[in-house]
Every structure is written in structure tokens, then in C-alpha cells.
Amino acid sequence: MTYLAADDRYSSMTYRRAGRSGVLLPAISLGLWHNFGDTQPLEVQRAVLRRAFDRGVTHFDLANNYGPPYGSAEKNFGTLYAQDFRPYRDELFIASKAGYDMWPGPYGDGGSRKYLLASLDQSLSRMGLDYVDVFYSHRYDPSTPLEETMGALDTAVRSGRALYAAISNYPAEQHREAVAILRELGTPVLLNQSRYSILDRGVEDAVLDAVGETQTSLIAYSPLAQGLLTDRYLAGDVPVGSRMSVGHFLKEEALTGAKLDQLRALAKVAERRGQSLAQLALSWVLRDDRVVSVIIGASSVAQLDQNLDALAAGPLTAEELAEIDALSR
């Protein structure tokens, strides 16, 4: 059936400004890292994407190697974009990235100009797009001069293949350098996409300070710690079909007795707030004004809805923040 987006799609989503730019992003964005490769039925992907957009999620986050297999998330998104979302292109903010291994040989990995621009062209072809809204250097590559990597992002924007440039997984020092180089070129850094959750607070050591000082924004991925910060593991079991059961990024050995105690204590904080553990985890990351959005994955409409409902809760109190801080450290 022809897809018609909900008339009230902008009625409940919160939007936050990215750095000092004119871009507003939804507080919760949809990531296609998992669940949008060839292992997930296309109709499930369609249902999740439609529901996300119907609830005001305008930002879809992709990368060249999302799948599995590599490239399949962009290919599947391209199919659904052509069938459902093309009329809404100007309401969408679509991201892609390059920086990790993608194809064999010396030009399919890293931060070279050769790799980044070739990858961007491939991504545009897979998705059937004339441009992406933001193109990322997916990681800092110490073997490539930062001027070369940032120059490639500048070219991507100036050539019209991307509207904005961004970085991902960049440490604080390289974040500052990247921002300085691109501002000199006239193509400012919009975002630094970094891993951030109650269980992984590494960006607080220096990256968040660099983000604030440079008037950019952090966009957080893995805010649920690959699913650990959900109700799925509170019983101490590993559900069939969960990320831990697959064991690619989240290993079963992560579910120690001490970790279970920590998760259960956090779940009690969530319960007192009328939230699930996942909702609490999202609210916690969004407490910091330097974070413009959190990127969630979703394998079903029900899971998506539950996570988006995190925005309905009030702000965390000082007492709740102190309790979470003690539990997380």
C-alpha cells in the first residue's frame, strides 16, 4: 500500500539544535547499524522506518558497512526510500559514513581521500540519493594526515554530495584539530558521533569538553550499551535472538554477577520513575545539553515505540542523577 506519513508526525517529538548550526535533530534518532541488513525481513524494516517517521524521527543514521553483509543496510534503505519515503526527502536528515574496512585492497579502509570519496559515491548509489545530509569520517586514522581526511569531507560538501561534514569516534585532541581544519576550509564540523551510555562514560573524560568548547554537538550511539541497558537480561538469561546470543559485539561473558547487580539496581531507579531501564538510559544520556540526539536501533515497532516513549518522562532529579552516578561508576 502507498505510504502516507501521519499528519501529526511533528506533534510530540523534541528537536534539539546541532552545535551553532541551523540543523535541528530529533532527540532520538534511528540507527540502521543492526536490524536493517539482509538478515532482517524487508517488511519488518519497512514497518520500523514508517513508524519512526510517523513519530517525528527525521534522522536516519547509516554507514557504508552496516548490514550484514556490508552495504546491505544502505541497499535496503534505498529500496524502502524509493517505495515509501521519496516524497518526504526534504523532511529527512540522512547520514552515511566511511572509515572502517569496506572492500579488499589498500583503498577500502581508513581515512584517505581516495577511500572516503569513493565510498560516498557507492553509498549514494546504493541508497538512490543525490546527496546525504551529513557525511562522516567514521574514525580517526592516525596513518593518514588529518588535513587529507578533512579535505575529503570538505570536497564532499562542496561537490554537493553532502550538505554537512561530521566526525565519529574522534578523541578530544583530534576533534579540536578536525574542527579547526574544517572551519579554516569553510565547512564546519557539525557532529562528533561517539559511544556514550550509563555503562560507558569515556567521552566524559575529555571529548564532551572538546565538543562544548568548539560549539559542536555530540550525537550518542549505543546509549543502551548494545542492549545491556534493557530489561532483556535482568533475569540473568540470554534470550534467543538477542545481540548477546549472536555474540558479535556483545559477548555473554559481559553478563557477570556484578553486572547483573548493577543493572537490577538501575532498573529499580527506572521503576520508581515509571520507566523501563532502556527509557531511563536514554533520558540519562539526553540530560547533557552537549548531546544533540541519541541513536537507537529497533528490531520491531513495539521496541521502537517503547524507546521513543522515554521522551514523555520528566527530567531526572538531582537525587536520581546522584544515584545513577554512584551505580554507574
What would the pLDDT profile of 146-158 be if each residue is shown by its tens digit? Answer: 999 999 999 999 9
Which one-letter amino acid corresponds to residue 145?
P
Per cent of the chain over pLDDT 70 is 95
Which one-letter amino acid corresponds to residue 304?
L
Interval 268-318: pLDDT, tens:
999 999 999 999 999 999 999 999 999 999 999 999 999 999 999 999 999
**DSSP annotation string for 86-138:** GGGGGG-EEEEEE-S--SSSTTSSSS-HHHHHHHHHHHHHHHT-S-EEEEEE-
User: pLDDT category, 242, cuts 50, 70, 90?
Assistant: low
Cis preceding-peptide flag for 171 (omega within 30 of 0): no
Query: All 3 cell numbers of residue 73?
Result: 543496510
Q: How far apart are CA 196 and CA 207, in angstroms?
A: 11
Mean pLDDT within 179-189: 98
Interval 39-82: pLDDT, tens:
999 999 999 999 999 999 999 999 999 999 999 999 999 999 99
Provide the pLDDT for residue 251. 62
Provide the pLDDT for residue 247. 54
Q: In this model, does residue 252 exceed pLDDT 90?
A: no
Provide the pLDDT for residue 245. 44
CATH for 15-228+277-314 is: 3.20.20.100
Q: Are strands 217-221 and 162-168 parallel, antiparallel or unpaired?
A: unpaired
More confident site: 327 or 256: 327
**For residue 147, what are the contacts with CB-CB under 8 A and spacing of at least 6?**
181
Q: In this model, does residue 240 exceed pLDDT 60?
A: no
Q: How far apart are the first and last CA of the chain?
A: 50
Provide the pLDDT for residue 249. 58
The residue whose grid cell reads 517525528 is 56
Contact 187, 165 (CB under 8 A): yes
Provide the pLDDT for residue 255. 82
**DSSP annotation string for 226-275:** GGTTSGGGTTS---TTSHHHHTSSS-GGG--HHHHHHHHHHHHHHHHTT-
Interval 206-235: pLDDT, tens:
999 999 999 999 999 999 999 999 999 898
Mean pLDDT within 133-155: 98
Give the closest residue to 221 by CA, choosing from 306, 304, 291.
291
